[in-house]
Structure 1
């Protein structure tokens, strides 16, 4: 709050600042001002000079405090540090606030207030008595949300007060931070779903490296090359020592499909069927990423994350931690879609061999169950968790969609119904047991085709 110069614009700013300062009078300041005016009027009417002096003192003190506070040249820098910036739903994050007095004079009473959404808890407030010149103060608070999403923190507000409590001025910093609350995940047990699917699980194939001179078939010998890689036929042909191309393992692929249709779920809140499906998709993503899969998240809208040049699969061109963060942040803000069916997701899946397919479906009518069944045609191993609104809306209700689960099973899916209160880890273990009981032959049923490749599985 700098004092005005000689220009008209500076004078207008000074007047506006004074008006702001006077409008910041507290209840105590307004009471003193009113009492002073009343005492002055009574003293004038009754001819009491002593009462007039008291009245003038009471009336002048609040505006004088406002002017002094307005002209106080505090230079205070504020910063915020969020640790961690991404937390699962139901977990706490710590927010640290730091105030630095960069002026040459100590501050008076400072009151800090950070703006947070009501979902994260009450608005934190702190009182700093005095910050010496060049000094700093640090305070912290915790935030927690049971609902996933992105929540803005800030801006930080600084309230200045005079020593008598007559006036308070509020100044806001411009910086804001974002807390990302991702879905809860639960560890899944290591199960093995064996089958004949190329390019996933333990049956990984090996493919040539796809970058650099090492891809040339064959290439010239270099100092340090293993002599066991010498390609004698090419050596005799070219007249110089040649070695075979290098190979690297081909990463297993997995698609996690999340049904977000608004008509497929009922209810809302942390314990709703849709939130269970989102949390289940997050748990499956983390599970397969930790096991070296190249993964993508697909929704019924046909959009996949990440959408890069590798066909939408993460892990092959990105670090696993970056891939996990990108998909978890997507799940943090995913909402219901207006799609009527699963046709867009089917169009994406029928484009090639997707390896492992893990799907979380809401309500399926006969038409959408048939579309979901056809998704199995190009997949090696297909695992479906179906959430029925009837069982989630009424605890203990009888599921009437058993024949739709059977449609998926006839097409080669391992289809399980997800009921309230049943953890995904238990369903995951049950899926492994059912897959072991049915054997590899069951994975060729319903599609009329066989997926050729190396025998393997996943865990």
Structure 2
């Protein structure tokens, strides 16, 4: 459970703002009183003047009394949980406490929420005694990923006659993060994945608590059997050897976010499928002990200092997964024309490369082919964006793009294990297919069965 922000005493509106809070009833009384006063002068009726003064004075007195109200109310908001997957619900609890010595009147609470999360929740609280507390709750859900602000919480005060209403707002807001769904994937060994030192595994100096080949100074508690006597004689102090340990297999997940490569929009679009697949792949590989980073076509890399492409070897798997999910929650389609930004980040020795491509022309397919030379093994999921926009069973492709069979052929000739993705395909089935031998004939992937399998 994540604690939301806590607001202090609401900001007090000025008298001018209080006059602006007159309701329709209050404005009607004020207008009627002024009209009666004018008529009393025109008709010479002093009794009518008294009636007019009474009608005009009542809403003004209500405004003054409400403006001078000394309610001191504290409010807080709690989200449970503050990070949810798409289409999941989160409960928001509002807590109001009367910290003054006077009981309150009827209070109406309203919390500001984005339209995508549903209508604004409103609650009416009866008289709250001095020192009393009230708690209310509501649920929010979203079919679209993103970060959504909740608040500020508004408190509406009204007088007993309904002449005036004042809205006072707390200053604190909270954020609900809606991340992509993480689908479970089968624990299969991907094509080209190394099981030990080799092209899929990289050696790097160990971090704190791990061993490496560079001797270091003796520390209290080190095993004397690890003293490196040759280095000790050379440096004149006790030196301890740190033996090499196998490091985690590295994996880069490449997400193609180009708007031109993913036609269509909405929860069922090709781009949203790719985002969900990238999130599921990252979580699955982290659970299997990989050192994973997320890379986009713009060259942005997570984790990594300033997006320069570090794998973040010292990051805990849970922290790395949370960081990637938070990044994918707000990732948007880019205006990039090609994949050169991602290619520049791939400097070689990448281990396993898992890519989710959109529509590719010949030039971008060639760039993807050069990417293959900078990694140990490569698996590509190629999304047919036209299939999403034209619906199942359609044929054809956009101008400037090559047919799906040609895209697969170009990638496979470059050494990729390339799989086509169409509407209705599940990542789990494709992930299992990625563990098999690389198809030799790309044309066999161009024809789809109605059930979503291969023909």
TM-score normalised by length of structure 1? 0.81
Cα separation, 1, equivalents of 2:69 and 2:231 = 85
Tell me the equivalent position of 1:152: 149
Is residue 352 of structure 2 the alignment partner of residue 356 of structure 1?
A: yes
Q: How does 1:303-318 map to 2 (within 5 A)?
A: 303-308=300-305, 312-314=309-311, 316-318=313-315
Change in Cα spacing, 1:237 to 1:312, as seen in structure 2 (3 Å) is closer
- C-alpha deviations, 1:388-416, integer Å up to 9, x for none? 22211112123622022022122221111
Query: In the alignment, which of 355, 367, 373 is matched to residue 377 of structure 1?
Result: 373
Distance 1:356 1:203 in 2: 6
CA apart distance, 1:211:
4.8
CA distance in 2, matches of 1:87, 1:357: 28
CA contact (8 A) 2:191 2:436 kept: no
Which runs of structure 2 are paired with 1:3-152 in the superposition (5 Å)? 17-38=14-35, 56-152=53-149
Q: 1:388 aligns with which of 377, 384, 388?
A: 384
Rounded to whole Å, the distance in 1 between the matches of 2:219 and 2:266 is 64
Query: Per-residue deviation at 1:253?
Result: 0.6
Specify the alignment match of 2:277 in structure 1.
280
| Paired position in structure 1 for 2:3 | none
Show structure 2 runs of 5+ residues with no match: 1-11, 397-402, 441-455
Contact 1:39 1:54 in 2 (8 A): yes
The corresponding residue for 2:176 is: 179
**Which sections of structure 1, spanning at least 5 residues, go unmatched?**
1-13, 439-459
Q: Offset at 1:381?
A: 2.1
Seen in structure 2, the aligned counterparts of structure 1 residues 19 and 196 have a Cα distance that, compared at 3 Å, is closer
How far apart in 1 are the matches of 2:307 and 2:388? Answer: 38
List per-residue Cα deviations over 1:228-270 (Å, max 9, x = no partner).
Answer: x6889999999x9997534433111110000111111111111
Q: 1:199 touches 1:251 (CA, 8 Å); kept in 2?
A: no
1:335-374 superposed Cα distances (whole Å, 9 cap, x missing partner): 121221112211221x121111110000011111121122
Aligned equivalent of 2:430: 427
Map 1:184-195 to 2 at 5 A: 184-193=181-190, 195=192
Deviation at 1:54, TM superposition (A): 5.3
> Number of aligned pairs?
421
- 8 Å CA contact 1:82, 1:93 repeated in 2: yes
User: Are 1:310 and 1:316, in contact at CA under 8 Å, matched by a contact in 2?
Assistant: no
Distance 1:221 1:52 in 2: 96
Find 2:289's aligned residue among 259, 274, 292: 292
- Scaled by the length of structure 2, the TM-score of the pair is 0.82
Deviation at 1:145, TM superposition (A): 1.1
Please give the secondary structure, in 1, of the residue aligned with 2:305.
Answer: coil
Q: 1:309 deviation in Å?
A: 9.2
Q: 1:416 to 1:63 in 2, by over 3 A?
A: same
- CA–CA separation in structure 2 for the residues paired with 1:203 and 1:75: 63
Counterpart of 2:255 (choices 247, 255, 258) is: 258
**Deviation at 1:106?**
0.9
1:407 aligns with 410
